[in-house]
Amino acid sequence: MPQFKYKAITASGRNKSGTIEAADKRHAISQLKGKMRQILSVTEQKVSKKGTSSARKNFGQAHKKKESPNGATAKSSGRLKSRFSSKEGLGLNFLKRLLELHSSGMPLGDCIRLLSQRISEPQLKEVCSRIWKELSEGRTLAAAMATLPAIFPASITHVIEAGEKTGELVPILQKIVAYLEEKREIKAKVMGSLAYPVFIICVALGVIVMVLAFLMPQIDGMLASLGGERNFAAHVLIESGEFMKMGGPFLFGILLIFGLGFSQWRRTDLGRKWTDNLILRLPLAGPITLYSNLFQTCNLLSTLLASGLTTTEALRLTERTIDNRLLRERFNTTRTQVNEGIGFTTALRQNRFMPDLSLDVLSVGENTGNLVHSLTEVTKSFREQLTLRMHRMTVLVSSGSLTVAFGIVAVVAYVMITSIFQVSKSIS
């Protein structure tokens, strides 16, 4: 009867490896399911000499890497961290592929090994290979993912760890994938909403520069050669163009220095707190920033609580993901009060973290013991508000940009028409 080598996690949380006899791989997995909490990998043992020598070779290579943890392996970790620091979609793609395989009944370790062999995308393949290497050395999936913090943040790895401890990893993966896709969709919608207004503003600035730097000097030269007089609008535009030519580089340097200084000041605690407070007070950006942070906070908090984490741990992990410093301080005070025994909704209301209507919904869920459902409903409400605010901002900014561009064109047309009249009078 064939023998299968397995790696699994026992009920006490320890890693165990060994061999088992079964008719095929499916029967081997079914035998292990009743004895182990989680199956990492099940592979059939091969007795060929080639396979044995290959296994010894791989073992020797792994043993050499283990002996020098601060050498090539540490350098590889640094390269991975810097290479994937801006690849936020890699983590989502990995989790989606893992969910597709693991939800079909394949053991977790076999899923990772198969992904490391079959995926053709170089970066994602390297991520899968790195995690498979960590699993082969006896680490859990959460510990393996924690070695790549640029791809898998701590909030995600802690949720994975909770799923591994409870043995319900598939529903946890489903919640994480849904959360990350929701977050990416919101981010894409924000960037898409801002793309058109930014394009209009750039076009308007281009028109201003072209008119002041090139068109108005030609009109002024034409008026001077034909004996025409400047009107007030032409005088303002021509002098503005001359000022831009003479003082434009100097003004650009001042703005550049101011921008760099402001950026450095914003990195300080006082600067970050002051600017974040100012952003929340702005007419258009304030509500968008508020609802974006509230949506992300409630969405992640409901995912963490649904995964089985305690309220204290879920609040601690959620606090790290809040971007706005003022809202983070309010949430930190809320977390401290909850740890001291105050109700979750009561603490949020005292710190004015979210609107009263949403707090009423959370209060009902907290009193009925169904806080996760209430957080999910509040998250939907925040997303609707965020979508509405972004649409409103897009309309206002686009309309304002078009109005400014139309005003510039109208002024230029007025100056050109009046200049032609002045030339006609001079000729007559």
- Do the domain assignments include residue 387? yes
Region 282-308: mean pLDDT is 85
Residues 175/322, Cβ–Cβ less than 8 Å: no
Average pLDDT in the 314-341 region?
88
Together in a domain, 243 and 371: yes
| Residue 60 included in any domain | no
Non-local CB neighbours of 109 within 8 Å, separated by 6+ positions: 7, 39, 40, 41, 42, 132, 135
Give the CA angle between residues 131, 137, 141 to the nearest 5°. 40
Q: What are the residue ranges of helices labelled H in 227-266?
A: 232-266
**Is 73 within the bounds of a domain?**
no
Contact 130, 148 (CB under 8 A): yes
Q: Quick check: is 58 in a domain? A: no
Determine, yes or no, domain membership for 171.
no
- pTM of the predicted model as reported, rounded to 2 decimal places: 0.63
pLDDT digits (tens, 9 = 90+) for 77-136: 444 444 443 456 788 888 888 888 888 888 888 888 888 888 888 888 888 899 988 888
Q: Which of 230-234, 262-266, 312-316 has the lowest mean pLDDT?
A: 230-234
Mean pLDDT across the chain: 77
Are residues 426 and 301 part of one domain? yes
pLDDT at position 332 is 92
Q: Give percent of the chain with pLDDT exceeding 90.
A: 6
Dist. CA 56–CA 416, nearest whole Å: 85
Lowest mean pLDDT, pick from 61-75, 112-126, 137-151:
61-75
21 φ, ψ to 5°? -95, 135
Can you give the pLDDT at residue 58?
Answer: 42
**Whole domain around residue 96: which residue ranges?**
87-152
| H/E stretch holding 21 | strand 15-21
Q: Tally the residues of the chain.
A: 428
> Is residue 336 predicted with pLDDT exceeding 70?
yes
Please check whether residue 276 lies inside any domain of the structure: yes
Q: Please indicate, yes or no, whether residues 5 and 140 belong to a single structural domain of this protein.
A: no
Distance CA 318, CA 154 (A): 10
How far is residue 332's CA from residue 295's CA, in Å, rounded to a whole number?
17
Q: Are residues 132 and 219 in the same domain?
A: no
The pLDDT tens digits of the residues spanning 236-278 come to: 777 777 777 777 778 888 889 998 998 888 888 888 889 988 9
Whether 69 is covered by a domain: the verdict is no
The answer to the question of residue 166 being in a domain is no
Say yes or no: 192 and 335 in one domain. yes
Per-residue confidence (pLDDT) for residue 86, from 0 to 100:
46
Q: How many CA atoms lie within 13 A of 156 on its CB side?
A: 23
Domain with 326 in it: what CATH number? Answer: 1.20.81.30
Q: How many domains does the chain have?
A: 3
Q: Write out pLDDT tens, residues 152-175.
A: 887 788 778 777 776 778 888 888
Helix or strand (DSSP H, E) at 46:
none
Compute CA 47 distance to the chain's CA centroid, rounded to the nearest angstrom: 48
CA distance 394 to 288: 12
Q: Are residues 344 and 231 in the same domain?
A: yes
260 with 148, same domain: the answer is no
| Residues 119 and 22 placed together within one structural domain of the fold | no
> Residue 70 pLDDT > 60, yes or no?
no
Angle at 43 between CA 38 and CA 46, to 5 degrees: 155
- The verdict on 109 and 22 lying in the same domain is no
Q: Can you read off the two tokens belonging to residue 180?
A: 């990350």
Residues 203 and 112 in one domain: no
What does each C-alpha distance from 225 to 93, 221, 232, 350 come to in angstroms?
68, 6, 19, 73
> What is the pLDDT at residue 14?
66
CB of 241 closer than 8 Å to CB of 213: yes
Clarify whether residues 268 and 362 are in a common domain: yes
Split at pLDDT 50, 70, 90, the class of 73 is very low
* pLDDT (0 to 100) of residue 215: 74
pLDDT at 370 over 80: yes
Q: pLDDT tens for residues 174-206?
A: 888 887 887 788 777 777 767 777 787 777 777
pLDDT > 50? residue 41? yes
pLDDT value of residue 12: 64
Q: In this predicted structure, what is the pLDDT of residue 195? A: 77
- Residues 147 and 184 reside in one and the same domain: no
